[in-house]
Structure 1
Amino acid sequence: MNNAPNPINTQNQFSEFERFRTLARVTHDAGWDWELTTDRLWWTEGLKVQFGYDPDEWQSGSALWLERIHPDDRQRVSDSLALTMTGEKPNWASEYRFLKADGTYAYVHDRGHAVVQDGQVVRMVGAMQDVTSQVMILARQQQADQLKFVIDSALTAMALYAIVRDPITHEVVDLRYELINHMAERMTGRTADVLIGKTMRTAFPGIEQTGIWHRYKQLAQTGEAMRYHNHYVADGYDLWYEVQGVRNGDWIVLSFLDITELKNTQLKLETLNQDLIRTNENLQQFAYVASHDLQEPLRKIQSFGDLLKNSGLPTEGPATDYLTRMQDAARRMSVLIKDLLTYSRLTTQRDTFQPVSLDAVWQDTLTTLEMLIAETNAVVETDPLPVVQGDRVQLTQLLQNLVANALKFRQPGRPPHVQIRVQQLAAAALPESVHPVKAAAQYYRLDVTDNGIGFAQKDAGLIFNVFQRLHTRSQYEGTGIGLAIVDKVVRSHGGAITATSEPGSGTTFSVFLPADT
């Protein structure tokens, strides 16, 4: 030790320090001797060996040492040292981060012994040891333990394999188990002790017959990551799982997520879906045949009714009244059957959709409703309409039914006025009450507004139901299916529709369609 002092004249105490100093040199610890009365601090050569500081330049006092303690540790070290300096604890020890001469921090274990004279601590002798390597080893061990805990807690089975190659050709011939997690043990029904050290083809001989082995072999040879679903029926197993695999050097990690339950549910749903498709096809065929068979007798009823009228029946009287009522009922039945057939046929799939110009659809609508518009002296106007993905026939039914509805429920003595306004909205700007069937980034909003009789807003949720009528047939003709057709067309196109109204103040139907042309 450089310039070693003898602040205490007691030979026994000095010998004690000499023994400590010798031990510090042997262990390369940074030994220190601190004289509290003068605040002078002497160090052994270990200060330079371990931390890079010259002991001759470090005798000015404790402040130099304290400044190099990490700021986050400094107060804690000072507080623990104060207990020893007051004589409360004769021995002191602490672990903290200490700044080395090269600017890096070392983890140190520091300890010292207090020398008491006349009831006061006048001197402390100690040694500081660099324990960075031990701390890092413990930290790595802790990280390894934490990582193992995470891996073993995973719901995915994971296994680490070593690639086994032919010693002559170097071709991949097998994979050897090196590590598996708890879920892998549960999925295979075999413990780590049984699998580790064995090769995959030995542990699961049926793997070659399933064709899976060739996927793993390709991964080992090419290093191209893989991901796929597999149905493993061999070696007593019947499992569906999702496999992911990566290679790093001569190591491979495979993960297996058990999706057996999910796959079985999916297969059941696919079977049910096929059954539903067949049922719908049968229903469509039935609806077509039934409508044809029902329309034929209705046509005969109407035809024979016309013949009866022209056969010399009195123009007035009970018989003529009955005949007129019978023909009106037959006509309404014919219209009802046609509307029901239209509703039942609205099952177009999205894969048949194509870009449809709503401007062209609007022109078709005007042509169809030309006479009704003229008879009611209606004014109809619209913004330029967009192009949407859909079925042109269905979209024509959509606009035609909405406009016809506005013309039908007009106010007496007041010409109908129908307006169609268009705007494009981001999904985030949709009204809170609107929930389209299909998620999209943008939507077209078409507001069809009229000046008709309107209805109470509390009935807005009812008007799209089949056969729902808010007025009697004697007031307004119709089958009660028109708006149900509108709602079904909108939903089949991934959209949504709302109605806003007030008695005597007209109605606005707001149609929201995905803008994904």
Structure 2
Amino acid sequence: MDNALISSDAGDPTVDYERFRILARITHDAVWDWNPVTDQIWWSDGLFSLFGYKSKDWKPGAAEWRERIHPDDRQRVISSVDTAVRECRSSWTSEYRFRKADGTYAYIHDRGQLVVQHDRVVRMVGAMHDVTAQVTALARQQQADQLKFIIDSALTAMALYAIVRDPATGELVDMRYELINHMAERMTGRSAAELVGKTMRTAFPGIDKTGIWPRYKHLAETGETMRYHNHYTANGYDIWYEVQGVRHGDWIVLSFLDITELKNTQLKLEALNQELFRSNENLQQFAYVASHDLQEPLRKIQSFGDLLKSSGLPAEGPAADYLDRMQSAARRMSVLIRDLLAYSRITTQRDTFCPVPLDDVLQNTLTTLDMLVLESNAVIEADPLPVVQGDATQLEQLMLNLLTNALKFSKPGQAPHIQIRVTALSASELPSTVRPTKAAPRYVRIDVIDNGIGFAQKDSSLIFNVFQRLHARSQYGGTGIGLAVVDKVVRNHGGAVIATSEPEVGATFSVYLPAND
């Protein structure tokens, strides 16, 4: 020790500093003696043995000690020392990180006693105790406790196994429970004390009967990550779970997620789907009956009505009027059955969807309506239409019903003028009232705009209902199914349709369909 660093100004006759320093050499702590007036400080050999410094390289003064305090702790510690000296406290203590000679940091518990004379601190003596081991052990314990908390809080059952091999052959024969979490206890109904130390095949012999063991053995032998669903019905259990497994050396971690409720729901849905499938088959049979057996009596009514007219029945009078009404009702019934069939045949199957050019759809529709367009002197203008994913037959029904609706509800004495406009837009640009049945990044909006009689906007949510009519049948014919077909086709294609209108101003039907990416 460099004696030049030892202060000769004891200053306090109640303290035997020489005896203090002799005793300080016995302890392993870094004992110190500091004069805050002169900033001279004496260190015991413990400073150098603890932290790896050499006494000849240690500069005098407290600055050497301050510089080695961790930067994140330095100001706090120095301020606490200054406060203790300024307030003439009797003792001081602090914990901080201190840099060792090799550049690493030790955790220090430092404490000192202050000697006060004439309201001024003239001496501080104390010791730095290395508590790195305790702090590290505490930190590790805290990490272990945190990890255990995380594992035990998991909704997935987890277990750690040790691979068990036959001592004679080295063959993998079992896996031994080493650790399980709370969820594993709940799922198995067994405590950790009951399972830890036992082997899997001993605790659950059913794994051999259900064929599960070969999967675990394959994981243990190959290290290939495992994931599968299993239905375990042995040993009094009836549960579905998803298994995931990984191997690290001779350790295996398996996690089990209870999906019993999910599977039961899935099975119920499958049963409902089967029931729906049977219901659809019955509907198809009904459609066949409707298209043949129901139409046949109507055709006979119309045929016999024609025969009655040609049999000499007077062209005027009550009988002729009754006959006309009967045939008119039969025709309306025939149209209604036909439209209902068209509506029922629109399915939600998308596996047959393919790119459909809507320009072709429009041309086919105009060919179908050519006589009606010609008779009404209608003008139809259309932008170039896009290609969309869909069913061509359904999309033709969509276009046919939209154009028929625009032609039907034209103003008396005024030629229909129909415009078909196309706009591309992103999902974020969709109006808040538009809710497509399929999410897509981009959509196309097809507006069918007419100059017809229009309708009150409050009725816009009603017109897409089956059999909904806003006008008397005597004014405008039809079954009230056409726009319901439009709505169903659009929904089948993942889109949405809305209508805007004012009476005597015309109507706009806006169809939103996912863009063909």
Shorter-chain TM-score: which interval? over 0.9
* Of 265-274 and 39-48, the range deviating more from structure 2: 39-48
2:290, 2:337 within 8 Å by CA — same for their partners in 1? no
Alignment RMSD, CA only? 2.1
Does 1:17 pair with 2:33?
A: no
Aligned to 2:127: 127
SS at match of 1:237: coil
Contact 2:88 2:119 in 1 (8 A): no
Per-residue CA shift, 1:153-204, capped at 9, x if unaligned? 1111000011112334433211111100011011111111111111111111
Report matched runs for 1:430-441 at 5 Å.
430-441=430-441
Tell me the equivalent position of 2:307. Answer: 307
Q: 2:513 and 2:380 mapped to 1: Cα distance?
A: 22
Sort the Cα spacing of 1:238 and 1:84 in 2 relative to 1 into closer, same or farther, 3 A.
same
Return the letter of the residue paired with 2:433. S
Quote the offset at 1:359 in angstroms: 2.3
| 1:276-304 Cα distance to aligned partner (Å, 9 max, x none) | 11012102211320342221111111112
Equivalent position of 2:190 in the other structure: 190
Q: Give 3-state SS (helix, strand or coil) of 1:414's partner.
A: coil
Structure-2 separation of matches of 1:138 and 1:102: 24
Q: Secondary structure of the equivalent of 1:412? A: coil
In structure 2, the CA distance between the partners of 1:37 and 1:328, relative to structure 1 (3 Å rule), is same
The aligned counterpart of 2:485 is 485
Range 501-510 or range 259-268, more displaced: 501-510
1:42·1:59 contact (CA, 8 Å) conserved in 2?
no
Q: Does the 8 Å contact 2:377/2:415 carry over to 1?
A: yes
With over 3 angstroms needed to count, the CA separation of the structure-2 counterparts of 1:476 and 1:16, relative to structure 1, is farther
Q: Tell me, in whole angstroms, the C-alpha distance in 2 between the residues paired with 1:91 and 1:348.
A: 83
* Structure 1 range deviating more: 419-428 or 408-417: 419-428
Q: How many Å separate the matches in 1 of 2:158 and 2:425?
A: 46
Question: SS of 1:511's equivalent?
Answer: strand
* Inter-partner Cα distance in structure 1 for 2:77 and 2:149: 34
One-letter amino acid of the counterpart of residue 476, structure 1: Y
- CA displacement at 1:249 relative to structure 2: 1.3
Alpha-carbon spacing, 1:469–1:20, altered in 2? closer, same or farther (3 Å): farther
Q: Residue 444 of structure 1: CA displacement?
A: 2.5
Q: TM-score scaled to structure 2, two decimals?
A: 0.94
* 1:293-304 paired onto structure 2 within 5 Å: 293-304=293-304
- The 1:160–1:427 alpha-carbon spacing in structure 2 relative to 1, beyond 3 Å, is same
Q: Who is 2:449 aligned against?
A: 449
CA positional deviation for 1:507: 1.5
Once the two structures are TM-superposed, the CA of residue 35 in structure 1 deviates from its matched residue by 0.8
Aligned residues with identical type, % of pairs: 71
Match of 1:95 in 2: 95
Deviation digits for residues 41-95 of structure 1, max 9, x if unmatched? Answer: 2223333333354545555433443344334433432444345425654232210
Distance 1:516 1:64 in 2: 74
Question: What's 1:247 paired with?
Answer: 247
Moved more, 360-369 or 15-24: 15-24
CA distance in structure 1 between the partners assigned to 2:103 and 2:376 by the alignment? 93
Report what 1:202 is aligned to.
Answer: 202
Displacement, 1:275?
A: 0.7
The letter for the 1-side match of 2:442 is Q
Q: Residue deviations 1:20-49, cap 9 Å, x none?
A: 42134xx1x322210122121222333333
The answer to whether structure 1 residue 178 and structure 2 residue 183 are counterparts is: no
Distance 1:54 1:450 in 2: 98
The 5 A counterparts of 1:107-186 are: 107-118=107-118, 120-186=120-186
Alignment match, 1:7: 9
> Residues 194-252 of structure 1: CA distance to partner in whole angstroms, max 9, x if unpaired?
11111111111110111111111111111111211110010111000111111111111
Question: How far 1:132 moved relative to its partner?
Answer: 2.5
Query: What letter matches 1:198 in structure 2?
Result: K
Which has the higher mean CA deviation after the structures are superposed, 448-457 or 310-319?
Answer: 310-319
CA shift at 1:15, angstroms?
3.7
> Does structure 1 retain, via aligned residues, the 8 Å contact 2:88–2:120?
no
Q: Is the 8 A contact 1:43 1:55 kept in 2?
A: no
**Contact 2:7–2:41, Cα closer than 8 Å, also in 1:** no
Gapped regions of structure 1 (runs ≥ 5):
none
CA distance in 2, matches of 1:67, 1:414: 97
1:304-353 C-alpha deviation (Å, 9 max, x unpaired): 22222222333332222222222111111110111111111112412232
Whether the 8 Å CA contact 1:32–1:42 is kept in 2: the answer is: yes
Question: Which amino acid in the other structure matches residue 285 of structure 2?
Answer: Q
In 2, are the aligned partners of 1:305 and 1:327 still within 8 Å (CA)? yes
Partners of 2:248 and 2:98 in 1: how far apart? 38
Question: What's 2:496 paired with?
Answer: 496
1:225-240 → structure 2 map (5 Å cutoff): 225-240=225-240
Q: Tell me the distance in 1 between the aligned counterparts of 2:230 and 2:428.
A: 39
Query: Residue 261 of structure 2: SS of its match in structure 1?
Result: helix
Q: How many residues were matched structurally?
A: 514
Structure 2 residues not aligned, in runs of 5+: none
Letter in 1 for 2:7: P
The residue matched to 2:238 in structure 1 has which SS? Answer: strand
In the alignment, the residues of structure 1 paired with residue 429 and residue 488 of structure 2 have an alpha-carbon distance, to the nearest angstrom, of 24
**Is the deviation greater in 302-311 or in 142-151?**
302-311
Q: Deviations over 1:414-457 (max 9, x none)?
A: 22122222233332222211111122222222222222221111
